[in-house]
Amino acid sequence: MAQQNTQSLKVGMTFMAIIFFVLGFITNFNMALKDQVQTTFDLSATMAQLVNGVFFFAYFCFSLVCGGFIRKIGYKNGVISGLLLVAAGSFLFYPAVAGTPSYALFLTAIFIMATGVVFLQTAANPYVVVLGAPETAPARLTTVQAMNSIATTIAPFLVGLFILTPASLAMGPGAVQMPFVIIGSLVLLIAAGVYLSRLPGIEQSDTGGKKVWQYPQVLLGALGIFCYVGAEVGCSTQIVPYLETGGFSKGEAGRIVAIYWAGGMIGRFLGSFMLSSLSNSRKYLYSSAILLFSFFAGWFIFSSQIVEGRFVFHSQLLHGMIFFGMAIVNFLAMIAGRGNPNVSLGVFGIAGALLAAAAFVLPIPLGMWTLLGVGFFNSIMFPTIFSLGVRDLDPTEMPLASGMINTLIVGGAVVPLAMGWFTDHISVRSALILPVICFAYIAFFGLKGSKIRRRV
């Protein structure tokens, strides 16, 4: 029986890893399109941020609704519903850019796709939490978030190579027709796989959830998610205009954004080991392999480009070494956290604030690296904030708590829009003040806010 239960949990975690990969790719593919859309529709920085604003606004509209809905239909059916909505939104991009492109229909397609992502987030995060022991929940969430980070690294890299090129920019939004058709088709296949699979069941009840509002850690954690997603998305979308002020082309800058997300990927793999229950010897062994990989990841992203339809490489070993050095600093920050999620989150929040502040004051050649380095310290934030926010809750309370927390993922709409306003009316650099504030709050939540347990 125990072996069957272990096998069932492995199946559940495997499908969750696939789901998180899909979430990461879709989210970052949309975010990376901001510069393509801005050029095509001749938009201001603020209006172009609607690509992200509409996507993350769906969380505000539907997270609580999805939480209640999932309590009634179950996690598995919630995941399937989300995948079907993602597919529907993907296919809608084709008519949105056919003939005379419509920005309104383009945004509608994003909103429908985002609604599906809300279902997936609301069902998947608590599902991973309850698939094992509560004390290792941050490690499990960080593991599946690492799959998310692989996708978030790939997506802007592909957009930079294939969509933010002069030829593709000249095509306008038509350049994204086939990519979204492919995405929709793959998501339908994954939905069929989930439907046919036997995922482990999680207890459901219509009676749980009403007292969730009384838990301070849930409310403070929701605000932490607002700040985290707002800062993460805001920094990522600010990289291209930031680098353009230093003489980079839009295509070069778009490709370099992948370094930001690669940092998150490396950090999440490191976090999945360092926050786990593995022995110290295994933690350091696996982490060493990830650190070595970081050098090749940094070198590849900086050295590869497409010339006349084919990949070419040039020597950028220095960039690989810089990325490797940043990974080591991130690893040392993990050690400073001593495997404690609260302390680790506090350390990472402080580091994120300092790096964003450094990008604000430093010249582009140095500020570029501190801004890209923020990605490393985003790595464990979402899974750690989420798991600390829902700690001590009953499984029947998880869907509503997840819905509450996911509602404030709307920070990914609010903060970037505000940063777009700063960019339009003050300067590109001035917008970085907002992530500094967000990361400072995250540090507070990790060190103090998440420990508050008195019911309100």
State the pLDDT at residue 3: 43
Q: Identify the top-confidence range among 33-47, 66-80, 289-303, 321-335.
A: 321-335
Cβ burial of 398 (10 Å; 0-12, 13-18, 19+) is buried
Joined together, the tokens standing for residue 365 give: 């050649």
**Of 286 and 394, which is predicted with more confidence?**
286
How sure is the predictor about 164, in pLDDT bands with cuts at 50, 70 and 90? low
When pLDDT is averaged across residues 340-347 and rounded to a whole number, the result is: 88
How far is CA 179 from its chain centroid? 20
- What pLDDT score was predicted for residue 182? 85
Is the pLDDT score of 395 beyond 70? no
**Best-predicted range by mean pLDDT among 50-54, 182-186, 196-200?**
182-186
| Res 454 pLDDT > 60 | no
pLDDT for position 50: 77
199-203, 352-356, 393-397 — most confident range: 352-356
CA–CA separation, 451 and 456 (whole Å): 14
In the chain, what are the domains?
2-199+211-451 (1.20.1250.20)
Coil/strand/helix, residue 316: coil
pLDDT > 90: percent of the chain: 15
Q: What pLDDT score does 346 carry?
A: 92
Query: For 78-82, 334-338, 398-402, which range has the lowest pLDDT when averaged over its residues?
Result: 398-402
Structure tokens at 223: 């605000």
Confidence tier at 438 by pLDDT (50, 70, 90): very high
Q: Which helix (H) or strand (E) element contains residue 354? A: helix 341-361
Task: Inform me whether the pLDDT recorded for 313 exceeds 70.
Answer: no
**317-336 and 341-361 helices cross at what angle (nearest 10)?**
140
Phi first, then psi: give them for residue 256, nearest 5 degrees: -70, -25
Q: Examine the pLDDT at 311 and tell me if it is beyond 50.
A: no
Burial 93-114 (b: 16+ CB within 10 A, else e): bbebbeeeebbeebbbbbbbbb
CA torsion angle for 146, 152, 155, 156 (degrees, to 10)? -140
With both helix axes pointing from N to C terminus, report the angle between 137-158 and 250-274 in degrees, rounded to the nearest 10. 160
pLDDT given for residue 166 in this prediction: 62
Q: What pTM does this model have?
A: 0.72
Q: Return the top range by mean pLDDT from 49-53, 72-76, 264-268.
A: 264-268
Mean pLDDT for 22-28 is: 79
Q: What is the tens place of the pLDDT at every residue in 235-280?
A: 988 998 898 888 787 777 877 887 888 888 888 888 878 777 678 8
For residue 7, what pLDDT band results from cuts at 50, 70 and 90?
low
In the chain, what percentage of residues exceed pLDDT 70?
78
pLDDT band at 413 (very low <50, low <70, confident <90, very high): confident
pLDDT score of 35: 66
Mean predicted confidence (pLDDT) in 331-355:
88
Smallest CA-to-CA distance from 93 within 70, 113, 115, 73 is with: 113
Give the tens place of pLDDT for each residue, 122-148: 777 777 776 766 666 666 777 777 777
